[in-house]
Amino acid sequence: MNRNASPSFYEFFAGGGMARLGLGEAWTCAFANDFDPVKAATYRANFADAGAANGEGHFHEGDVWKIAPADLPGRADLAWASSPCQDFSLAGARAGLQGGRSSAFFGFWKLMEALAGEGRAPDTVVVENVVGLLTSHGGADFTALCRALADQGYRFGALEIDAARFVPQSRPRVFVVATRLPVEGLSGPSPFHTRAVREAQARLPADLQGLWTWWGLDAPPARNTDLTALLEPDDQASWRTDEATQTLLDLMAPAHRAAVDARLASGERAVGAVFRRMRGGEQRAEVRFDGLAGCLRTPRGGSSRQTLLVIDQGRVRSRLLGPREGARLMGLPEAYRLPRSATAGLHVIGDGVAAPVVRWLAEGLLAPLALRKTAPLAAE
């Protein structure tokens, strides 16, 4: 990369292109991939250079295992991989890196190894996933990931960043940042060195600990919006029946029902986010009134849809969170094109990465790393 060229990146498991939106126009997407037809169509709808289905453009729809190194143009500065997270989460029974979905990571990594053999490996790699990556199989999966990075000459470190620092959605994710470039001056304390990250690092073998970098990413400014600010006006929403709302209230444990009753008694308007969960073999509805939505999910079932509870003027109403509201909770612009179907829109949104988190990571760490390709620092 010369000083006048923008850094380039490959985006794997790209979904609707939220990592690309976070990186912004300062970065050039050389290649993007996803196997999901709905996500692929959404990506193409939002990025003119992606190309039409089966046509020219940098977007490749299909299984990552079937991509050849020759399909990847040039040598990118960065490879971003938001690999499937289900097998690292409790919902996926923690099958780990050998699980059917998360094993797609190795399809991606096989390509990185092939590029290394051709002298085209990206200088920096980011692997984004759920926090369960740090503990899956007692830490063995995280160790396997770090070993794969080390075997290709990368130094690495991890940051746990909750999107709630940027948008009103609770969405903690792990970002493993690995690089072959000099790291001097980029390490230091960070609020994103959480207990889970520290414990994961401590479980690594000594040789991998020796390659660890504590990335010194600063905290962002305080968030100044809450959930209410991103919602559609009440008169434009589709509300559930009073009977459906009462059923939801009846599913609440005493503490959650008491929180609703307290806000009813106050007479003030309150908005809460509700999920239905299984607790002790029983379905429960849990509400939060802290100004945050719960973590957005893909709508694989009715209980996975996030519900809004609105208390106003002595009345409790409920409705489902809409896809445009979900897009705002991911930090996407109003011009972002969603699928027409609400289910498809929530599918794209629920599997994405919050764009403002990527932007903060890019500004504080990825862009400074990319600049070192042209002006590497002397060792301190």
With a cut of 90, say whether residue 137 has pLDDT above it: no
pLDDT at 88 over 70: no
Where residue 316 falls among pLDDT bands split at 50, 70, 90? very high
pLDDT at 379: 40
- Going along the chain from its start, the domains and CATH numbers come out as 8-220+349-371 (3.40.50.150), 233-321 (no CATH)
Write down the pLDDT at residue 173: 97
Q: Mean pLDDT, the chain, as a whole number? A: 90
Mean pLDDT across 91-115: 71
Q: Is the pLDDT of residue 100 over 90?
A: no
Closest CA to 358 of 89, 173, 116, 134: 173
- Does residue 342 have a pLDDT over 50? yes
**Which region among 96-105, 120-129, 284-293, 305-314 has the lowest average model confidence (pLDDT)?**
96-105
Burial class (CB in 10 A: 0-12, 13-18, 19+), 166: buried
Confidence of residue 299 (pLDDT cuts 50, 70, 90): confident
pLDDT in tens, 201-227: 999 999 999 999 999 999 999 999 999
pLDDT, residue 4, reads: 54
156-178 mean pLDDT: 98
Between the alpha carbon of residue 207 and those of residues 157, 159, 192, 210, 211, the distances in Å are 14, 20, 23, 5, 7
pLDDT(14) > 50: yes
State residue 1's pLDDT score.
46
Instruction: Say what the pLDDT of residue 97 is.
Output: 56
pLDDT of residue 259: 96
295 vs 88 pLDDT, higher one: 295
Per-residue tokens: 143 = 């160790």
**pLDDT above 70: residue 74:** yes
Q: Which of 60-64, 86-90, 169-173, 261-265 has the lowest mean pLDDT?
A: 86-90
Name the pTM for this structure.
0.92
Q: How confident is residue 89, by pLDDT bands cut at 50, 70 and 90?
A: very low
Q: Which of 7-11, 44-48, 173-177, 296-300 has the lowest mean pLDDT?
A: 296-300
Confidence of residue 200 (pLDDT cuts 50, 70, 90): very high
Rounded distance between C-alpha atoms, residue 350 and residue 359, angstroms: 19
The tokens 């470190």 sit on which residue? Answer: 157
The arithmetic mean of pLDDT across residues 49-57, rounded, is 74
